[in-house]
Amino acid sequence: MAKEIKWKCEICRKHEVEFKDYRFIDSCGLQGKTYVCKWCRDLNDVAIRDIIRDELNPKVFYEDEVE
């Protein structure tokens, strides 16, 4: 039986891939098709650049949910 391979997000490298996105950010080496997690998908290019440069967790860009 083949083992299922889980891919990590190409931006944060912390969470599992859930979407295919298209990013063109020269300074980060992103040129087109990118496989991303649900946390990186909706972030803007400045946040993506910060995540890659500083190895941040993308969850820090979302506000805590109010109960």
What's the confidence (pLDDT) of residue 54? 93
38 in any annotated domain: yes
Are 53 and 33 in contact by the 8 Å Cβ rule? The answer is no
Residue 8 lies inside a defined structural domain of this protein: yes
Residue 22: inside a domain: yes
Residue 67: inside a domain: no
CB atoms within 10 A of CB 41: 15
Number of domains in the chain: 1
Encode pLDDT of 3-57 as tens digits. 777 899 999 999 999 999 888 888 888 888 999 999 999 999 999 999 999 999 9
Cα Dmax for the chain: 44
pTM score above 0.85: no
- CA 18, CA 4: separation in Å to the nearest integer? 15
The verdict on residue 18 lying in a domain is: yes
In a domain, 33, yes or no: yes
Residue 66 pLDDT: 52
pLDDT value at position 4? 76
Q: Which domain holds residue 15?
A: 1-62
- Is beta strand 30-36 parallel, antiparallel or unpaired with respect to 19-25? antiparallel
User: Which pLDDT belongs to residue 1?
Assistant: 62
pLDDT at res. 5: 75
